[in-house]
Amino acid sequence: MNKRFYLFTLLMVAVLLMSACSPAGTATSVPTKPAATDAPVVTEAPTEAAPLVLKIASAAAITTWDPVKSFSTEVAYLDNMYETLLLTNPPGSAEKFTPVLATSWESNADGTEWTFHLRPNVVFHDGEAFTAAAVKMSIEAIADHGGAAFIWWMLDHVEVVDDLTAKFVLTSSAPIDWIASSADGSRIISTKALTAAAADPNYFEAPVDAGTGAYVLESYKADQEIVFDRFDDYWGGWKPGQFDKVFVQLVTEGITQQQLFDSGQVDLVTSIPKENVATYKDNPNVTYDVEPSFFNYLVFFNTLRPPLDNVLVRQALSYAIPYQDIIDIAANGLGTQSRGPVPQGVWPSSPKVKQYTYDIAKAKELLTQAGHPGGGFTLNMWYVSNNDTIVALVPLLKDSFAQIGVEVNLVPMLWGPLWEQAKADPANAYDINPNMYWPTYSDAGSDNLWSLFYWTKSPFFNLSFWKNDAYNALIDEAIAKTVTDPVTAQAKYVEAMNMLVDEAPGAFLFDTKAVFIIPKYIEGFKYNLNYPFVPYFYYQLTSTK
Amino acid sequence: MRKLEFILRRLVSSIFVLIGVSIITFALSRVVPNNPAVLYIGPRARPEDIARVTKLLGLDQPLPVQYFIYMRDLLHGDLGTSIATKRPVLQEILDRAPASLELLFTGMFLVVVIGIPLGVLSARWQGKPVDLVTRTISIVGVSIPAFFLGLVLQIIFFRNLHWLPLAGQLNTDLRFTNPILPVTNFQILDALLTRNWVALKDTAVHIILPAITLAAYPIGLVARMTRASMLEVLEQDYIRTARAYGTKEFIVTYFYALKNAISPTLTVIGLTFAYALTGTFFVEIIFIWPGLGMFTVSSLLNIDYPAIMGMTLFGATAYVLINSIVDLLQAWVDPRINLV
């Protein structure tokens, strides 16, 4: 009986398997990679002449190789393979922009038409010539379905005036020079590749490289390594000492990166643990470079949940934050207290934006005015558990709030679930959420100020769910005047930022600083805070080894 | 005939096991509130883009429908596409499996050549200093967590003594000066087959620390199990008779006693092989070993549903297969064992 049962079951399984031989319901066409065993077997171990290799240990993961859809940490690599029309220079530079694929540009009086004159004799890695058609196709593809498509909200279309002239026609005024130099959302891609990608959404994942940059993607092993080769036909030319290849080892652990660096197995790293960075200050073999960065940390107060719907309570909490302790402990001293949500040095930051001070007495007084003498309530703080800085600062907030009688429950979560739950049911989400932000391009007015606090029906990053029509109106006016009247735009932005400080839908903790440890034999390194996720532009670097 | 019947029965029961595992994993991975569409298109996507991708990935379907679609595609050999890497999960597994298997086989080789002799020695010299040392090694092996041991070995052998490399499979420079041509995708084997002696030496040196880290716990376990079995067998009458006949102690220990004592050890080796499959996760992270472990960890942290399902089913299949092989091996070693 048992044998019959098993044989019967086996027969059923066989029938099921035979049915599986029919075509699948939905086939996802994926480009196939060449089989590794296609390589011929050789009996002698080959020895090649050693190229000049730059070795980097990087924590930046790849979510996609698609330059249109990309909007994550792979920008560190894509921005070495692809180029934009312009590059925004660091604050304090003589010129605001560096021409890249565009050599000059101008706009009409009201900033609704921008004409870019393109660099001649540029070729893509796939051999195609760079023309205005590629600009049109790239930007319109990004505006349509790109990861950073939102930065092109004002684009009507791109016009091909001639092979080397492209005109951006907008529905309203906008600083296209800034937008066209964005790290994400402005890459110029060959039309051949874009046409192929239109037919196959996974075309670029093979991976395929269709940029004009100085380095070509040679190989990629997921979670392991990326190898770049120099592009011999690069329009910028090559000089002695520049690297022939770049080998990127994907290493998520900071301490492992540090060990690889100390042992000389890599030349550069991206994330040495904060607590160990200072040990390199007096190292004669490296340059210890501290730079302001695009990132800042803030705290969202959920204005939908009592008692945080009371501005006095939010102001009280803002006074109870130990700003300097947070910088010293959570950021290891690498930061400056924020003035609003715009990082200092980035448009439209201003020293006229107010700051809170750490004042427990003032905080208690405000709580009493709010009808909560001695505090006496509990708040839930949801925080991102895989951000070391946030993990370090939440106990400081909890401890400090306890001094004014406010109990805090700490709830660690991954970013995905946290964001999902918050947007799904804001009224029942957290009370407090410490977070980190950065602008997509060098206009933190239309990014930070809009994304973080401008009210929309479906919240984007307005994680305090704050609604203020006066604030929205100020932001609308400022955005409209950014190109035509930047002085007025700045004034509007400052007014909006001071409103944020007064109304306190969030508390603005600190702007970060980035530290770069560069061996003395590597020259040419220049950090550009407008490209915070691109620590190294490989083309700039040379070796004196 | 019995063996065939055993194999058939095991095959059928395995199918039910795997279905059960798939249902549990499917349900558990979806309990966590998360939207994989955010993972797919990046953390700052617009709500309308998230909605579009949610539909593209089929995540707007009811859960039973999603499960049915997954299982239907599975029968066609399609484990889905990783939301994080956008490559087929099967391709990800196949690309990474050689590195993990290479580490696994090396580790298990150490388990067999170190663990069993240690157990035999310990039993043979019961009560003597050798026994004490061996038992200490066993206890230390099973007690120390793999991730801690790995870090300690790195500090000692890399940072302090500079004897062994920190991490990875191969020195970076050799990738360009003496690249290993892929034949089997097992680095050490390919270096040997292509007579790339420079790379062979380098890959062999690179695997030492991760293999020791992986093998430490199984070595301890196998040594203890072997010792216990050997002690029992060495007390048997036939062993006493063999010694009385003047048979050499080496023959008595390794041919008569060990053969009869090895059966439980084989079971343990099989189970530790399966343990090591998941034990490689920690080891691969610490030693940046480009195998399945790193992929699994990142899939879990990203809540990458297809990858989690694929890796879980892969692991479950491996467990079932290994246990079946161990049972067959036991029956071969000891004909008294009734498989059915």
- B209 pLDDT band, cuts 50/70/90, is very high
* A203-228: average pLDDT: 93
At residue A499, does pLDDT exceed 60?
Answer: yes
Q: A265 and chain B: CB distance < 8 Å anywhere?
A: yes
> What residue of A is the nearest CA neighbor of B68?
A25
Cβ–Cβ under 8 Å, residues A412 and A398: no
Which one of A224, A243, A276, A447 makes the best mutation probe of the B interface by having the most chain B beta carbons within 10 Å? A224
Please, what's the b/e burial string for B267-280 (b: 16 or more CB within 10 A of its CB; e: otherwise)?
A: bbbbbbbbbbbebb
pLDDT at B50 over 80: no
Please give the span between the terminal C-alpha atoms of chain A, in angstroms, as a whole number.
78
Whether B160 contacts chain A with CB within 8 A: no
**Chain B residues touching A51 at Cβ < 8 A:** 176
Residues of B in contact with A294 (CB under 8 A): none
Q: Which CATH architecture has domain A82-192?
A: Alpha-Beta Complex (3.90)
| Confidence grade of residue A25 (pLDDT, cut at 50, 70, 90) | very low
Residue type, A102: A
User: What does the pLDDT look like over A32-56, one tens digit per residue?
Assistant: 333 333 333 333 444 556 789 999 9
Stretch among A487-496, B133-142, B199-208 having the lowest mean pLDDT? B133-142
Which of A275, A211, A289, A219 has its CA nearest to residue A249?
A219
Query: Which of 268-307 (B) contact A at CB < 8 A?
Result: 285-286, 288, 290, 294-295, 298, 301-303
DSSP conformation letters of B37-62:
HHHHH-TT--HHHHHHHHHHTTTTS-
Per-residue pLDDT, averaged over A333-349, amounts to 93
Q: Which of A484-493, B268-277, B306-315 has maximum average pLDDT?
A: A484-493
> Closest Cα of chain A to B331: distance in Å?
20
Is residue A78 pLDDT above 80, yes or no? yes
Over range B146-175, report the average pLDDT.
90
* A1 in B contact zone (CB under 8 Å): no
pLDDT at B320: 84
Positive or negative CA dihedral for B229, B230, B235, B237?
positive
Q: Which residue has the higher pLDDT, B152 or A33?
A: B152
Chain B neighbours among A 432-451 (CB < 8 Å)? 440, 451
* Distance in angstroms (rounded) separating the CA atoms of residues B264 and B227: 11
Helix (H) or strand (E) holding A75: helix A75-81
Give the pLDDT of residue A49.
Answer: 61
| Full set of structural domains in chain B with CATH | 91-313 (1.10.3720.10)
Give the distance from residue A440's alpha carbon to the nearest chain B alpha carbon, in angstroms.
10
Q: What's the topology of domain A292-513? A: Dipeptide-binding Protein; domain 3 (3.10.105)
- How many CB pairs (< 8 A) connect A and B? 187
> B121 vs chain A: nearest CA distance in angstroms?
39
pLDDT band at A105 (very low <50, low <70, confident <90, very high): very high
Query: Could you tell me which residues come within 8 angstroms of residue B38 by beta carbon, excluding any fewer than 6 positions away?
Result: A416, A419, A420, B45, B50
| pLDDT over 90 (residue A305) | yes
pTM beyond 0.90: the answer is: no
How far is residue B12's CA from residue B186's CA, in Å, rounded to a whole number? Answer: 32
Residue with the larger pLDDT of the pair B18 and A512: A512
Q: How close A430 gets to chain B, by Cα (Å)?
A: 15
Among A10, A47, A458, whose Cβ lies nearest the Cβ of B47? A458
Asked whether the beta carbons of residue B41 and residue A46 sit closer than 8 angstroms, the reply is no
**pLDDT for A40:** 37
Provide the CATH topology of domain A198-291+516-543.
D-Maltodextrin-Binding Protein; domain 2 (3.40.190)
In chain A, the percentage of residues whose pLDDT exceeds 90 is 71
Contact call for B166 and A33, based on CB within 8 A: no
Q: Which of chain A's residues have a Cβ under 8 Å away from the Cβ of B190? A: none
Residue the block writes with tokens 């052998």 = B157
Output the pLDDT for position A331.
92
Contact A71 B185 (CB under 8 A): no
* pLDDT of A11 over the 80 cut: no
pLDDT value, residue A415: 80
User: How many whole angstroms separate alpha carbon A488 and alpha carbon A480?
Assistant: 10
Distance from CA of A12 to the nearest CA of B (A): 10
Return the closest-CA partner of residue A369 out of A307, A430, A431: A307
Which of B176, B195, B292 has the highest number of chain A CBs within 10 A, making it the mutation to test binding with A? Answer: B176
DSSP string for A256-307: HHHHHHHTTS-SEES---HHHHGGGTT-TTEEEEEEEEEEEEEEEE-TTSTT
B175 near A CB under 8 A: yes
Average pLDDT taken over every residue of chain A: 89
Domain range annotation of chain A: 82-192, 198-291+516-543, 292-513
How close does chain B come to A330, measured CA to CA in Å? Answer: 23
CB-based contact, B84 to chain A, within 8 Å: yes
Lowest mean pLDDT among A135-144, A185-194, A298-307, B138-147: B138-147
Facing B290 at nearest CB: one of A24, A36, A224: A224
A367/chain B closest Cα distance in angstroms: 35
C-alpha distances out from residue B167 to B154, B199, B286, Å: 8, 15, 8
| Comparison of pLDDT for A210 and A273, the residue scoring more | A210
Euclidean distance between CA atoms B16 and A403, whole angstroms: 58
Identify the pLDDT of residue A26.
33
